[in-house]
Amino acid sequence: MHFPGMPVALARMVEMLGTLPGIGPKTAMRLALNLLERPAEDLKQMAAALAELQDKVTFCERCGCFAEQGHCQICDNVRRDTKLICVVEQPVDVLIMERGQGFAGKYHALHGRLSPVDGIGPDKLWLSSLDKRVVPGVELILATSATVDGEATAHFLARRYQASGAKISRIARGVPEGGELEYLDEHTLHRALAQRVIWEQAESLR
Ligand code: ZN
Q: Please provide residue 52's backbone torsions phi and psi, each rounded to the nearest 5 degrees.
A: -65, -35
Work out the number of other CB atoms within 10 angstroms of the CB of residue 132: 9
Alpha-carbon gap, residue 37 to 60, rounded angstroms: 38
**SS3 at position 147:** coil
Distance (angstroms) between ligand 1 centre and the Cα of 81 equals 13
63 alpha carbon – ligand 1 mean position (Å): 4
CA of 31 from ligand 1 middle (Å) equals 35
Q: To the nearest whole number, what is the mean pLDDT of the chain?
A: 89
Instruction: State the amino acid at position 121 in one-letter form.
Output: G
At 69 the pLDDT is 80
% of the chain residues with pLDDT over 70: 89
**Beta strands at 197-198 and 167-170: parallel, antiparallel or unpaired:** antiparallel
What's this model's pTM, rounded to 2 decimal places?
Answer: 0.79
CB-based neighbours (< 5 A) of ligand 1, an ion: 60, 62-63, 65, 72, 75
From 100, 99, 93, select the one nearest 181 (Cα to Cα). Answer: 93
Query: 85 — phi, psi (to 5°)?
Result: -120, 115
For 125, other C-beta atoms within 10 Å of its C-beta total 20
74-86 per-position pLDDT tens digit: 999 999 999 999 9
Query: 107 C-alpha to center of ligand 1: Å?
Result: 7
Summarised one tens digit per residue, pLDDT across range 25-40 is 999 999 999 999 999 9
The predicted pLDDT at position 173 comes to 66
How high is the pLDDT of residue 195? 81
Q: Give the model confidence (pLDDT) of 46-55 as tens digits.
A: 999 999 998 8
In the reported structure, the alpha carbon of residue 49 is separated from the centroid of ligand 1 by a whole-number distance in angstroms of 23
